[in-house]
Structure 1
Amino acid sequence: MKKAFLLVGIALVLLVVVVGGSYFWRQRQLHAALQAAANPLVTVSATKAEEKSVAPEATAVGQVVAQAGAVLSLQTAGVITGLEFHSGQAVQAGQTLLQVNPGALPGQLQEARAQAALAQSNFARAQKVYAIHGISTAALDKAQYDAAAAAGKVQALQDELANTQLRAPFAGVLGLRQVNVGQYLTAGSPVVSLENLQALSVDFTLPQRSARTLHPGAQVTVQIHDGDRVEQYDATVTAVSSHVDADNRALALRARIAKPTGLKPGMYVQVRLQQAAPQAQVMIPTVAVSFHSYGDFVYVLKPGPKHTLIAHEQPVETGSQVGQMTVIRSGLQAGDEVVTAGQVKLRNGDAVRINNAVTL
């Protein structure tokens, strides 16, 4: 009987151990599952900081200007009788663009030419008579001055008649026509703009601290976005302002663009001026930097427990941007792995997994 009670007691103890162990094992698994659900792995893209040779440079926003550009107008008022151009046309220097009604000018010019011919004939006759002492010196002088006055009147009328035509002062491309045939054109009214697109410059300003590196002949790079591409042009500084602007303490510069194909006056561009020899700099993609008013930072990935990666918020000091890369002056070293996509889902200390095969 005692042996039977002993066996029953052992069986009960074993049952309690098995049930209790099973319960505690399930609780542990549940606790681990809850922890995993509370702190799931965050999928991010990442890359390593690289050390590259970068030249210190100054950047500015500039505006493209034409070295030869003007809004054309006439000095003479009148009704437009002829238009010999269309909008956007390429023209040569001296090409006639517009004609206004000359009125009585052609008749006045013809009369003036006849009077000038008569005055010149009288002067020639007076010279012959004076040679034989037939007239006084005063009479000869009067004949000479009459001839000169008549010739001057002819020249004045010719110039006035020429002003009834608008001619291209230089070769270039016309803008949009602003007048029509039959319209009365007042003196000085704009007719059309003319720009020489083969000779373009860029005007920009740089802070006074860059003054020592600014001089005519300095090479600059001009960039403009064309859709998803960035077009780049070489330019040479041709002029530096002789004084610093008192309002913004900046120097104005003008650089001539070597081959300005595709650019037009008025475009905004980015100008880059190399200020020193290239130096080794730590660089990361600009998308990896979180820019904030209280300071810029990146997420650096470091090894964690059980072969995981932990994201740590790392303050950084950023420098210039070169294309899609940003120079990091302090806070990172070459080889540090930083998050480039998925930062919005991260908090400091989160465990992550890297997937660079997809865009996040």
Structure 2
Amino acid sequence: MFGLFVLFLAGCGKQGGMPHGGFAVSVVAAPVKEERIEEKISLVGTLVANETVEIKNQVAGVIEQIGFEEGQTVKKGQMLFMIDAHKLNATLAQTEANLSMAQTTFDRLSSLISAGAISQQEFDQAKSDLEVNKAKIDLIKAQLAETVLPASFDGVMGERKVSVGQFVEQGTTLSYLISQDPIKAEFRTPERFLGQLKEGQSIQVTVAAYPDDIFDGDVYFIDPQVEEQTRTALIKAKLPNSEGKLRQGMFANLDLLVNVRSKALTIPEEALIPKGDEVYVFAVDSESKAQIKPVKVGIRLAGKAEILEGLSAGENVIVEGYQKVGPGSPVKMKDNSSETTESNSTENSVK
């Protein structure tokens, strides 16, 4: 033990040690605290709408009616655009007349074919004409249905790109519809963290537009493959967004909660005495004497460190003045008055 004491005095580069005459050395001490630690990975990502579609027309025509305002919330099934259907209705009426004539001709020839009064070719042609007109009617009715473009889900309308009275070719982008509640956060995480991730894991997001707000969500997708070039995997999370603050395309800072220890032991970081690959502290025993102890350090926090082995909750460690003591030195403890008040929950972000 004496050799270890000498080692520490040399390592600290101080003169002194055990005070003469056994006088107690005044030191500042702090208790080993038991508290909650949340270990997090800090990442960056992008916010993506839960659902988004471009509204495109499937039939060409003139825009007859628009059923929304830009930025308006719409419900599934609500009419968004209506295309003039007059020409299609006229074509339908003409085709229905042709179908009636084809049906009459087919019925008449059906009675004649059995009597051998007409050729099989004539009968087959009449039958084909009937089927063609039926198919034309089905097609026109489908096109008529496509002249009304409804919302495919609840969401918010984007920019309107056409006006009433404008002729649009088939496949023109008329607007877009997005659903942002919930909203998705997409980010890539290094492969070394994949063992700490699982579906349902909590995530916290901040955005530049609302720097004081924290948005909570949960991981729902972990890509089963890792991108070879970056050695990262795509992770997706969903966040409630009932107030609509979060928007598609926003840059997001994410804190991914990977571990929670509700009864972790922590001490002020200044109590640690590193020596090579090992770390020590001076603890004060029940007889008010300094005793040197090796400790195993976990994660480093803001101004403090987690202790995995070597100390127990309630023990006192010297944070100031340990250069003046050695193993077995009598000490007089003072409170660590410079220590700021801390919350019961301590968070750690691993970059």
Q: TM-score range by the shorter chain?
A: 0.5 to 0.7
Contact 1:220 1:271 survives alignment (8 Å): no
Please give the secondary structure, in 2, of the residue aligned with 1:53.
strand
Please tell me the residue identity of whatever aligns with 1:260: N
Structure 2 Cα separation of the partners of residues 240 and 228 of structure 1: 27
Please tell me the residue identity of whatever aligns with 1:243: Q
Is 2:131 the partner of 1:158? Answer: no
Give the counterpart of 1:197 among 162, 177, 180: 180
Corresponding residue of 1:249: 231
> Shift of residue 55 of structure 1?
3.5
Give the counterpart of 1:110 among 70, 93, 99: 93
Q: Which runs of structure 2 are paired with 1:36-47 in the superposition (5 Å)? A: none
Contact 1:233 1:260 survives alignment (8 Å): no
Please tell me the residue identity of whatever aligns with 2:232: A
Give the counterpart of 2:152 among 158, 165, 169: 169
Structure 2 Cα separation of the partners of residues 116 and 281 of structure 1: 86
Please give the secondary structure, in 1, of the residue aligned with 2:137.
helix
Corresponding residue of 2:254: 271
Structure 2 unaligned residues grouped into runs of 5+: 1-29, 270-296, 321-336, 341-351
Higher fraction of helix: 1
> Shift of residue 252 of structure 1?
0.2
> Shift of residue 178 of structure 1?
2.6
Contact 2:78 2:150 survives alignment (8 Å): yes
> Shift of residue 174 of structure 1?
0.9
Is 2:189 the partner of 1:206? Answer: yes
78 and 275 in structure 1: CA distance in 2 versus 1, 3 angstrom threshold: same
Greater mean deviation of Cα atoms: 184-193 or 243-252: 184-193
Structure 1 unaligned residues grouped into runs of 5+: 1-46, 286-316, 339-352
> Shift of residue 50 of structure 1?
6.2
Contact 1:205 1:252 survives alignment (8 Å): yes
Structure 1 Cα separation of the partners of residues 33 and 195 of structure 2: 31
Structure 1 Cα separation of the partners of residues 317 and 338 of structure 2: 16
Number of residues of Structure 1 aligned to a counterpart in Structure 2: 259
Structure 1 Cα separation of the partners of residues 54 and 304 of structure 2: 44
Higher fraction of strand: 2
Please give the secondary structure, in 2, of the residue aligned with 1:117.
helix
227 and 89 in structure 1: CA distance in 2 versus 1, 3 angstrom threshold: closer
Answer 1 or 2: higher relative contact order, Cα 8 Å, separation at least 6: 2
Contact 2:203 2:237 survives alignment (8 Å): no
Corresponding residue of 2:129: 146
Please tell me the residue identity of whatever aligns with 1:240: I
CA-to-aligned-CA distance 1:109-142 (integer Å, 9 cap, x gap) = 2211221233234444545555677666655543
Is 2:81 the partner of 1:98? Answer: yes
Q: Provide TM-score, normalisation by structure 2.
A: 0.59
Structure 2 Cα separation of the partners of residues 51 and 274 of structure 1: 20
Contact 1:51 1:283 survives alignment (8 Å): no
Please give the secondary structure, in 1, of the residue aligned with 2:156.
strand
Structure 2 Cα separation of the partners of residues 355 and 250 of structure 1: 40
Contact 1:64 1:202 survives alignment (8 Å): yes
Contact 2:206 2:254 survives alignment (8 Å): no
Structure 2 Cα separation of the partners of residues 284 and 186 of structure 1: 70
Contact 1:281 1:327 survives alignment (8 Å): no
> How much is the aligned-residue C-alpha RMSD, in angstroms?
4.0
